[in-house]
Amino acid sequence: MMLRRYVFAFLLALAPPAFADLVTTEALQVQNMSVGEFLDWHDAVKRRAATKEFDALSRTEREQLAAAQAEIRGALDGKESMAELDDAGRLTVFNAHEKVLALVNKAEDERLICTQKKRLGSHRHQLECRTVAQIRESREGGQRELLRTRTCDPRTGCGGN
């Protein structure tokens, strides 16, 4: 019984970085939140889901989002703090919250970011638009390329695979 509480506390401690992925005015941390703040955050997500910001969410995903938030509301109904939840309630809230984060972050991956790039040899700017997922993949690909081991072969020379 005590081990489960420590595991849940550990899992809750892992949750704050997920909040940082969201584009919000403030990166909130679950362990520092009251039930009211937690529900306010989920209300804000619900309002955002009704806008064009989350167009990437399918109808099924929107229903899953609403169901997960209903689970959270049900588990936290009448509670003043997260400490009032029993183990099953904590697990319900944690799993439903992670579901919401997964759905929201997927939609965030589809967000388009446009930048103006100056073309080489020109004074004209070119508009370049990519999704958050494309930007992340490009960055990770560049890091993989930098970390890739290169070998020199006496027959073919250096710089090859």
- In which band, very low, low, confident or very high, does the pLDDT at 8 lie, cut at 50, 70 and 90? very low
**Residue 136, pLDDT above cutoff 80:** yes
Domain residues for the domain of 58 are 2-109
**Residue 124, pLDDT above cutoff 70:** yes
**Count: domains in the chain:** 2
Same domain, yes or no: 102 and 131: no
**Residue 16, pLDDT above cutoff 50:** no
Please state whether the predicted TM-score (pTM) of the whole model is above 0.85: no
Same domain, yes or no: 133 and 87: no
Name residue, tokens 């306010």: 40
* Residue 131 counted as domain residue: yes
The tens digit of pLDDT for each residue in 93-123 reads 888 888 888 888 877 777 778 888 888 888 8
Q: Please, is 126 exposed, middle or buried when counting C-beta atoms within 10 Å of its C-beta (0-12, 13-18, 19+)?
A: exposed
Same domain, yes or no: 34 and 9: yes
Q: Fill in the DSSP letter of residue 116.
A: E
* Residue 160 counted as domain residue: no
Task: List Cα–Cα distances, 96 to 50, 70, 85, 91, 152, in angstroms.
Answer: 19, 9, 14, 8, 52
**Residue 85, pLDDT above cutoff 80:** yes
Same domain, yes or no: 71 and 99: yes
The residue ranking higher by pLDDT, 57 or 39, is 39
* Residue 157 counted as domain residue: no
**Residue 70, pLDDT above cutoff 90:** yes
Strand partners, 127: 116
